Amino acid sequence: MLTSPKILFRKFLKWRYQHISNKQFTNIASAVIGLLAGLGAVVLKNITHFIQRLLEGEFIRDIHQAFYFIFPIIGLLVVLFVIKYLVKKKVGHGIPSTLYAISKQKGIMSRHQMWASLITAPLTVGFGGSVGLEGPTVATGAALGSNFARLFHLNQTTRTLLIGAAAAGAMSSIFKAPIAAIVFAVEIFSLELTLASMIPLLLASITAILTSYFFLGDDVLLHFQIQDKFILNDVLFYVFLGVVTATISIYFSKTYFAIGNKFKQFKSPYKRLLIGGFLIGIMVYFVPPLFGEGYETINNILKGNVGNVIVNNIFQTEISNIWIIILLLIGLIIFKVVAMSFTFGAGGIGGVFAPTLFTGSISGYVFAVIVNYSSFFSHQLSLTNFAMVGMAGLMAGVLQAPLTAIFLIAEITGGYELFVPLMIVASISFIITKIYVPHNIYAAELARRGELITHDKDKNVLMMLDLDKLIETNFVLLYPEMTLGEVVNNAVVKSSRNHFPVVNEAHEFLGILTLNDIRTIMFDKDLYDKVKVRSLMHSASDIIYYEKDSAEEILNKFKMSGAWNLVVLKNGKYFGFMSKSRLLTAYRRKLINVTANL
């Protein structure tokens, strides 16, 4: 008789608990997750390229210019139908949805996230959406890591670590930069960098890059070879480049947020699609380099082949004047950000990593060209070096991941020749951008809601608390017109609580009545019918607002008010109470769980 798969799996779990320690299994799981993340990256990339090849077939090629206008709308429409009728659940924007799962869902990601981005992201990018594939690739890997951990009943700490390992694996597979991938996971997901976490990240990164080499060979996204060495005389210009990339990073983030907020005002997804798709179509029709991810443009810039970038310019003419070329390239920087924002606003699924590299490479190149052709400077800069370092500047500013920017570009260039300029530009860009844009694109919305994981362990623990479990609702409600006798007989006698919320008929909170408020008169029966709750109640020391107050804000309210119990309002009405002792007890338990050894 055949044994069912479920029974076999239970036997395996039992055997695993007996023979393999948690640390050993975590290392094995990390290697497996790296393999899966690498496969996810390969599949996602190949599907996207397959769609792009179909759109460049013989029939379409003859009228390709006209179809530039309609491709993005078709792609976004298909994405909308796939989400609505196939996935039937929300498909988050890659890394932000992963960060939310870590901070508020105990590292649990829905199963559909393992495959939804594999369909929707290639459709968005393949049909010309001006976004990247890195975010969806990371999200797919993270979902695989989360569900793998759930399958084997691993705890929250290990689950979070495997999500980080999957992210490292995805980035390692995409860029063939294993060290930068590890740094990316630590910076973006705020992982604790210890020996216990380093080994799983390393294993995932190794298996992922080997998977990429196996299926894709030596093919890389960015083709670059250092031709010009770093010289000391360039330092001041790299400082200026840091300021320039910071300025563009601020523009990038502010524009993305502004356009995204505008599209949120449209309630109908079809209205968002039509408006966004129409605007993208117009932009891509007149400026073809905005079509898709833009790595072809980036590689042309890195090789110095700027003619291939502006050949299909808006004027459809040959350009020989260098200053017109500069203006056209600046236009690409400006409109790439706008096209990306329209793509997201219209409902497209993708990431901001590729647009960041796109704008960064052109920014560095344009800066160097301006210096080289300006009469104010006699010094000549390396166009390709500045293009490469410009990408690091935008990554450090937009993604607010300066270490990732430094190590990624250093690995791509095959050495540390540009390490000093990378450090200069990345640090300056990060510092300046941080002043005007406190949180990166991935984390801004979560930070606004107080749900962002950071490297501050205390804040992270508070954020991971399930506040719903701390709210107590079994309180006897009082009304303003109730008499003292009704309070004593219907509330004090029947409740073990020493405080009671006062509400009106609409359940709106009016105040609090405590035992201390009636202690001196509660046994005077002559006052039972004379004194009413309205004359005894008082206002609350402070109020917890269910929709917007984070655990950290709640703890501050307890601290400032000195109260041990605070009322909770939900949708403007009384919901319950939260006690300081329950909050602190939950915090201590969560802290022990989070800091426990793997």
261 located within any domain: yes
Query: With 60 as the cut, is the pLDDT of residue 454 above it?
Result: no
6 in any annotated domain: no
For the record, the structure tokens of 490 come out as 């219907």
Tokens 């949120």, residue?
264
Specify if 223 maps to a domain: no
pTM: 0.78
pLDDT of res. 33: 93
DSSP letter for 105, please: S
Read off the pLDDT of residues 501-521 as tens digits, 9 standing for 90 and up.
999 988 899 988 888 888 888
Same domain, 590 and 533: yes
User: Cα–Cα distances in Å, from 519 out to 158, 485, 498?
Assistant: 52, 13, 10
Instruction: Give the span between the Cα atoms of 126 and 129, in whole angstroms.
Output: 7
Closest CA to 346 of 184, 585, 130, 526: 130
In a domain, 202, yes or no: yes
Give me the domain span that covers residue 285: 232-456
pLDDT over threshold 60, residue 457: no
Encoded tokens for 567: 């009322």
Instruction: State the burial class of residue 565 (Cβ atoms within 10 Å of its Cβ: 0-12, 13-18, 19+).
Output: buried
Contacts 24+ apart (CB under 8 A), 194-199: 196/23, 196/597, 196/598, 197/161, 197/164, 199/27, 199/30
E strands in 311-432: none
DSSP 2: P
- Amino acid of residue 399: L
Residue pair 171/354 in contact by the 8 Å Cβ criterion: no
Distance CA 567, CA 578 (A): 6
Domain shared by 430 and 545, yes or no: no
Cβ neighbours of residue 291 closer than 8 Å, sequence gap 6 or more: 68, 71, 128, 130, 284
Q: Are residues 376 and 395 in the same domain?
A: yes
Same domain flag for 503 and 370: no
| Domain-ending residue, one of 216, 246, 266 | 216
Residue 230 pLDDT > 60, yes or no? yes
For the segment 5-30, what is each residue's pLDDT rounded down to a tens digit? 778 878 877 888 888 888 888 899 99
List the strands of the sheet with 573-579, edge to edge: 471-472, 573-579, 565-570, 543-545
Task: Flag whether pLDDT at 104 surpasses 50.
Answer: yes
Q: What's the pLDDT score for residue 427?
A: 96
d(CA 152, CA 339): 42
| Residue 597 predicted with pLDDT over 50 | no
| Mean pLDDT (whole number) for 420-434 | 95
What is the reported pLDDT for 456?
A: 52
Total domains in the fold of the chain: 3
In a shared domain, residues 119 and 253: no
Amino acid at 433: T
Phi then psi for residue 352, to 5 deg, are: -100, 0
Q: What value does the mean pLDDT of the chain take?
A: 84
What's the pLDDT at 535?
87
Residues 391 and 283 in one domain: yes
Which of 86, 87, 131 is closest to 344 using CA atoms? Answer: 131
What angle do the packed helices 235-264 and 353-373 form, to 10 degrees? 140
In this predicted model, which residue has the larger pLDDT, 551 or 58? Answer: 551
pLDDT reported for residue 60: 54
Q: Flag whether 531 is in a domain.
A: yes
| pLDDT computed for residue 453 by the predictor | 57
Same domain, yes or no, for 42 and 146? yes
Model confidence at 290, in pLDDT bands (50, 70, 90)? confident
Domain boundary among 456, 478, 506: 456
The confidence band for 598, taking pLDDT boundaries of 50, 70 and 90, is very low
Say yes or no: 149 and 206 in one domain: yes
Residue 38 lies in a domain: yes
Same domain, 276 and 298: yes
The share of the chain scoring above pLDDT 70, in percent, equals: 90
pLDDT at 460: 61
Side-chain half-sphere CA neighbours of 13 within 13 A: 12
Q: Is residue 581 part of a domain?
A: yes
Higher pLDDT: 69 or 355? It is: 355
Same domain assignment for residues 253 and 265 = yes
CATH number of the domain residue 59 falls in: 1.10.3080.10
266 and 348: one domain?
yes
Cβ atoms of 205 and 168 closer than 8 Å: yes
Q: Of 191, 216, 241, which residue is a domain's last? A: 216
Residue 477 lies in a domain: yes
Q: Do 129 and 95 share a structural domain? A: yes
568: domain CATH number?
3.10.580.10
